Chain A
Amino acid sequence: MSTTEAPAPPAEPEAEPLDIRKAPTRKRLVPYWLLLPGILWLLVFFAAPLVYQASTSIQTGSLEDGFKVTWHFATYLDAIAEYWPQFLRSVLYAGTATALCLLLGYPLAYLIAFKAGRWRNLVMILVIAPFFTSFLIRTLAWKTILADGGPVVGVLNSLHVLDVTSWLGLTEGQRVLATPLAVVCGLTYNFLPFMVLPLYTSLERIDPRLHEAAGDLYARPATTFRRVTFPLSMPGVVAGTLLTFIPAAGDYINAELLGSTDQKMIGNVIQSQFLRVLDYPTAAALSFILMAAILTMVTIYIRKSGTEDLV
């Protein structure tokens, strides 16, 4: 579902290379010993399941007769052919949620980094506070908030907002629940902190004197933001969008609880293939397709945003 990177090797001790070569063998091995637990963890819980999953995806058979590796790559093609709408929907919903998170999160992170002053820690706690409750419970709460006849629907209805969103195909009739709008709202809400935290970190690192320098060099505040602040916050924007988009694209809780069958995302398909239909090869193939698709998109995105030399 999501990619994991091996932890970076610990930095070499700050000594001259000459000393390292002279050092006794035991000392030279220390970094590798320190790496061992992490590597073991990754082997057991990441690499091994990955290989197992890959072999599952090319098996054929049934639950009764057992599955065998038959190098049946057609499963992949069949999976794409059958479930491409859910793939597309996942990308669309996750993309929309990511964009909304950025729009909501950037001003918030900017405020915390530059304007909050002594309130900074309090606001940070407020951002993180939702994490003290389970993801599931928070999403269920949204079910109540957006319920038919609930306050949100009532207000939106009386303002005729729902007429507009229905016309756009985001809602249906007088309902918000079980519509694309509800699922995107849920995704946006649940992943907002993943956007705010990296944005805040990269904004907070910007030297305020750079703003003064830009002002001193005839840049108005808006220009300063466009030419200095925003470009310098790009590492945070990239990290935030990735941390939001990747899990959102594979998420199934929001679509499950806030959507209907018409809002199923690829996560829901994989979940039902594994747990209800018990078609393990298809489920495994779908997982790999999702992983490949996300990796491709992320690679293109990082290249395009040109943040390599900023990070």
Chain B
Amino acid sequence: MTHTATPQSSSGGDVRLHGISKTYGSFTAVHPLDLTVPAGSFFALLGASGCGKTTTLRMIAGLEDPTTGTVELSGQDVTDLPPYKRQVNTVFQNYALFPHLDIFENVAFGLRRRGIKSVKKQVEEMLDLVQLGPMARRKPQQLSGGQQQRVAVARALINHPQVLLLDEPLGALDLKLRRQMQLELKRIQTEVGITFVHVTHDQEEAMTMADTVAVMNGGRVEQLGAPADLYENPGTTFVANFLGTSNLIEAEVVEARGRQDGDLLLKAGDAKLRLPAERCSAAARTGGKVLAGVRPEKVSLAHADDAGSIADGRNRLPGRIKDASFIGVSTQYVIDAAGLGELAVYEQNIERDGRLVPGAEVVLHWSPGHTFGLDADQSLLAGTVDADAGADLDEEAA
């Protein structure tokens, strides 16, 4: 597989992985992988625990020797170089700040190791960039989690690496601080123009920060692209479920081609659905099966009594409201669709229909253009919480 993200101009270096893989005994952490991270981009490796994303990052840093393949930084093969000879710096998961050194010395560490004598000005500037100037003489354990995180970023960035590697850097922070740091990191990246490779299991984090996201699963890259692209056009059920939530419906292809509008005609239960042919990643044959997917926020709900007022040409499915939870900006419904399992619908709270309560008969409808098609030969549950329940949650094993 070859994955290439769209290039951008910048001062950082690019990363090229050629056929890189890692096996531990009989366990394959990363399957042979080709990956190109263009210089200056903010690249996210997204996946659940144990998907190989951290191993991939560690191979770029030189902390792990690849079993096969090569690592290239800015056109130079660094596969056999030890970490201390690579122009790459890492922000570690738990920051790995040196507890015996104060903040100033932690940040100055890399400069001093490269024999730079007058570090004061640079360190102070860097501490200002991460807004920690007054903390210079404190010890790491005297700082809060968010402050330690910023020290870890400063300590890496001060070396002007070609590539900055971030290994779940926000994992230990609480939600609010995490949102704040996401924007902060994005701002810093834009400011310094260094290539960032960010490992995370948080899909929202990856989508907020990265220009390009590579979704990893089981040691392979499932799909790579811009966040919006991945979200709108998932190529596998794993991506469809891991990035946000998807309603996946097993459907039979009634008409594969021949229609003028280029749509496939599907039959799901008793309902007819239309799916734009270009949004179907699976080969569709008349009589074959595909998975029709639609995002919950794209679906509208109408009470069964109002079914007649739904515009023509929209995909529609009948169902009964099983559960409704009000969460402020929206209401999330779980709909029991006859013969098709449970479907999720997110309705904006603009004009609430008082009849839409659990037990009510409804019709789900959405624009056919919002439907995507996937190969039916995959698990419907891949990438969902149910599928992950048994997975090891310890990221360190990843």
Q: A: which residues have CB within 8 A of B?
A: 207, 209-210, 212-220, 223, 227-228, 231-232, 234, 309-310
Contacts and interface: CB of A to CB of B under 8 A. Distances in A.
B92 A209 contact: yes
A152 B155 CA distance: 54
B96 A215 contact: no
Given A209-B92, A212-B63, A217 B110 contact: yes
* A contact patch SS: helix
Nearest to B158: A217
Contacts of A207: 94, 96
Of listed A212, A213, A215, A309, residue having the most chain B CB within 10 A:
A213
Contact of B83 (A215, A227, A310): A215
Contact of A214 (B85, B93, B99, B109): B109
Contact of B159 (A214, A215, A217): A217
Nearest to A228: B98
Interface of B: 61-63, 82-85, 88-90, 92-94, 96-100, 109-110, 113-114, 139, 155-156, 159
B98 A216 contact: no
B100 A231 contact: yes
B272 to A, nearest CB: 57
Given A212-B92, A213-B92, A223-B113, A218 B84 contact: yes
Contacts of B113: 217-219, 223
B83 A212 contact: yes
Contacts of B109: 214, 217, 219, 227
B90 A213 contact: yes
Contacts of A212: 63, 83, 90, 92, 96
A215 B89 contact: no
Contacts of A231: 100
A44 to B, nearest CB: 41
B63 A218 contact: no
Contacts of A227: 109
A231 B99 CA distance: 10
Contacts of A220: 84
A232 B140 CA distance: 14
Contact of B110 (A210, A218, A228, A310): A218
A211 to B, nearest CB: 9
Given A213-B96, A216-B88, 13 more contacts: A207-B94, A209-B92, A210-B98, A212-B83, A213-B90, A215-B83, A216-B63, A217-B84, A217-B110, A218-B84, A218-B114, A223-B113, A232-B98
Contact of A215 (B63, B99, B155): B63
Q: Select the residue from A209, A218, A310 with max chain B CB neighbours within 10 A.
A: A218
Nearest to A207: B96
B42 to A, nearest CB: 20
Given A215-B63, A217-B155, A218-B84, A209 B94 contact: yes
A235 to B, nearest CB: 10
B58 to A, nearest CB: 9
A215 B84 contact: yes
Contacts of A232: 98-100
A218 B159 CA distance: 10
B104 to A, nearest CB: 14
A213 to B, nearest CB: 4
A256 to B, nearest CB: 42
B100 A216 contact: no
Nearest to B87: A218
